Amino acid sequence: MEYIHYYNSPLGKITLASDGKALIGLWFDGQKYFGITLTKNHEQKDLSIFRQTDKWLDIYFSGKEPNFTPQLSMKTTSFRETVWKILLTIPFGQTMTYKEIAQRIAKQKGLEKMSAQAVGGAVGHNPISLIIPCHRVIGTTGNLTGYAGGIDKKLKLLILEKADIKMERKL
């Protein structure tokens, strides 16, 4: 059985999902790939993982970096999990490019190169937005590209984190 919970953020309603122990999803309502890891058999329930995630979100939306990460469960392929684990290393208020992530994976796997487009696909399918910070990934030229929640939310999240972004970047 899977469970859901709702959180009202300054950027809109968020749906959280859990397997009863860990967080398996966090989506802005209406975003691309909404509920991708959620089965049809789920119900709304108050769980400690949801209370912990609500606390994380409260801290985050106050403009501060949470000092903990709720327990996460990544239901995915090994490649996507590799990408998402790299996303977890991007510090609050900083960004990384798709190309940098691809280069890091290539180095880890002993490959000459890795496709930044493949990385982009994995980043775009991240089911645990915000906590796995896919909004911190930008294009090689600094463009704010490819956020399933919408580029407007990506910009607002980076501004909230006081990230060093150039306002002239193409949206």
Task: Tell me the angle at which helices 98-109 and 78-87 cross, rounded to the nearest 10 degrees.
Answer: 120
Options 134, 155, 157, 160, the catalytic residue: 134
Among 53, 15, 35, 34, smallest CA distance to 148 is for 34
Phi, psi of 84 (to 5 degrees): -65, -35
Question: How many other β-carbons are positioned within 10 Å of the β-carbon of residue 124?
Answer: 14
Q: Which helix (H) or strand (E) holds 114?
A: none
Question: Annotated catalytic, 134?
Answer: yes
Q: How many CB atoms lie within 10 A of CB 70?
A: 22
- The residues annotated as belonging to the active site are 134
